[in-house]
Amino acid sequence: MAAQALALLREVSRLEAPLEELRALHSVLQTVPLSELREQAAELRLGPLFSLLNENHREQTTLCVSILERLLQAVEPVHVARNLGADLQRGLTHPNDSVKILTLSQVGRIVENSEAVTEILNNAELLKQIVYCIGGDNLSVAKALIVEISSVSPESLTYCTTSGLVTQLLRELTGEDVLVRATCIEMVTSLAYTHHGRQYLAQEGVIDQISNIIVGADSDPFSSFYLPGFVKFFGNLAIMDSPQQICERYPIFVEKVFEMTESQDPTMIGVAVDTIGILGSNVEGKQVLQKTGTRFECLLMKIGYQAKNASTELKIRCLDAISSIFYIPPEQQTDDLLRMTESWFSSLSRDPLELFRGISNQPFPELHCAALKVFTAIANQPWAQKLMFNSPGFVEYVMDRSVEHDKASKDAKYELVKALANSKTIAEIFGNPNYLRLRTYLSEGPYYVKPISTTAVEGAE
């Protein structure tokens, strides 16, 4: 089938008005599996199909667009960027919208591919064309594409800002339409993942504007539409720059996160919990949280309560945040930090270890894994090892392979065993026999099944 498609494609490139051949190629391609086309990708000469788009013939254009949509799926983005740049450039200015959309979808594939995108960045003319073409479009897809292009390098950001597209996006971010605002903040957050993107947002005063909108959110009855996105933006900004600097410069951010945990709205609580998890994921962030003193201890108590009583989805988000807050890499552990996490742990509930064990025994694999992740996060901290060792039945629970039935749970249990077995203090705290059992579990791997010994019974058939 693929051979027939290639023969027709060659025929099309030879003829001046190949309408019949295009119809035949179109119907053949409906039956050829994509895997077969990928095998023949090197043989696909697509330039002639792009050339046929330039003629003012409606059916021919429709057929070519449909054929190209199919064939381009079989071609790697790098190949498209390298060999079809001029065709893409023409496609972006084509009067027919379906040709423009086809071309933009290929640009999207290229931008998402780290190797292919450099081809675009080395082609100033094509990059300019992409930016101006998108500028004429108010689609959210086009905006997302602009952010992706802007994120690639300082040069690409310059193209996008010169065209006025990024400015337009930022205007909408601070505009009156709350739904547009909510969409824009996601895109601006993506831009903030890059160093040059953060620099640009700071220079343009965007970060200050976002902070001011959070300040004014209390008096805006529609703030629940955009507030979660704005708070997430600051959470990501803090962890990528410096939690201390961001939280000191924009105190409203921390204030709002604490406030949101008091909310009756599970969406707000979820965003606050996620943000605390992001903020507490490195040592500097943990120290920022510690500075809030008893407020943070009260917040931990709320997170512990939600982990036990909320909906399954919110329970998992609470457990993930707890894992993030409590994990300290061995090389960063100090006596002060260990005292801090031990004190925090006791704030979660009356008996946190038992709380998480109870959650891990519930018949939901996602909850089971999330609770195991909490144990894994604290497994390399001596105070937690002592708690585990002194908790009746806990060591047996860790060693018991019959508790986990699915792959994800077995993997999560194995990570816990690995964290314990690789800790320098475990042999001393758990005792040598238990340490050796952990090493055996580790060497047997996550999916080991103990052989069942069969004894011959006399008289059995």
pLDDT tens digits for 279-296?
999 999 999 999 999 999
What tens digit of pLDDT does each residue of 348-396 get? 999 999 999 999 988 899 999 999 999 999 999 999 999 999 999 999 9
Identify the pLDDT of residue 330.
Answer: 94
Contact by Cβ (8 Å): 318, 273: yes
- Could you give the 3-state DSSP secondary structure of residue 145? helix
Biggest CA–CA distance in the chain, Å, is 90
Could you give the percent of the chain with pLDDT greater than 70? Answer: 95
What tens digit of pLDDT does each residue of 120-139 get? 767 767 777 776 666 555 55
What angle (nearest 5°) sits at the alpha carbon of residue 157, between those of residues 153 and 162?
150
DSSP alpha helix (H) spans, 217-351? 223-240, 243-249, 251-261, 266-279, 283-291, 294-309, 312-326, 335-348
- How many whole angstroms separate alpha carbon 104 and alpha carbon 98? 10
Residue 411 — φ and ψ, nearest 5°? -65, -40
Q: Which of 396, 382, 387 is nearest to 434 (CA)?
A: 396
Q: What's the pTM?
A: 0.77
- What are 218's two structure tokens? 């209390």
Q: What are the b/e assignments for 350-360, b being 16+ CB within 10 Å?
A: eebbebbbebb
User: What 8-state DSSP symbol labels residue 200?
Assistant: H
Q: From the CB of residue 62, how many other CB atoms can be counted at a distance below 10 Å?
A: 15
Q: In the predicted model, what is the mean pLDDT of residues 253-274?
A: 94
C-alpha torsion angle, residues 374, 330, 271, 360 (rounded to 10): 0
Identify the pLDDT of residue 414.
Answer: 96
Per the prediction, the chain carries an average pLDDT of: 89
Contact by Cβ (8 Å): 92, 129: yes
436 vs 149 pLDDT, higher one: 436
Domain covering 205-349: architecture:
Alpha Horseshoe (1.25)
Identify the pLDDT of residue 461.
Answer: 45
Amino acid letter, 413: K
Q: If 0-12 CB within 10 Å is exposed, 13-18 middle and 19+ buried, where does residue 333 land?
A: middle
Per-residue 3-state assignment (H helix, E strand, C coil) for 150-166: HHHCHHHHHHHHHCCHH
- What are 433's two structure tokens? 């026999």
Q: If 0-12 CB within 10 Å is exposed, 13-18 middle and 19+ buried, where does residue 393 land?
A: exposed
pLDDT-wise least confident of 93-102, 142-151, 189-198, 292-301? 142-151
What DSSP letter does each residue of 93-106 carry, written as one string?
A: T-SSHHHHHHHHHH
Residue 76 falls in which region: left (phi positive, over 0), alpha (psi -120 to 50) or beta: beta
User: Given pLDDT bands bounded at 50, 70 and 90, which one contains residue 54?
Assistant: confident
Domain boundaries, the chain: 205-349, 360-448
Q: If 0-12 CB within 10 Å is exposed, 13-18 middle and 19+ buried, where does residue 26 land?
A: middle
Residue 175 — φ and ψ, nearest 5°? -75, -175
User: Given pLDDT bands bounded at 50, 70 and 90, which one contains residue 141?
Assistant: low
Dihedral angle sign, alpha carbons of residues 158, 164, 167, 173: negative
Q: If 0-12 CB within 10 Å is exposed, 13-18 middle and 19+ buried, where does residue 389 land?
A: middle
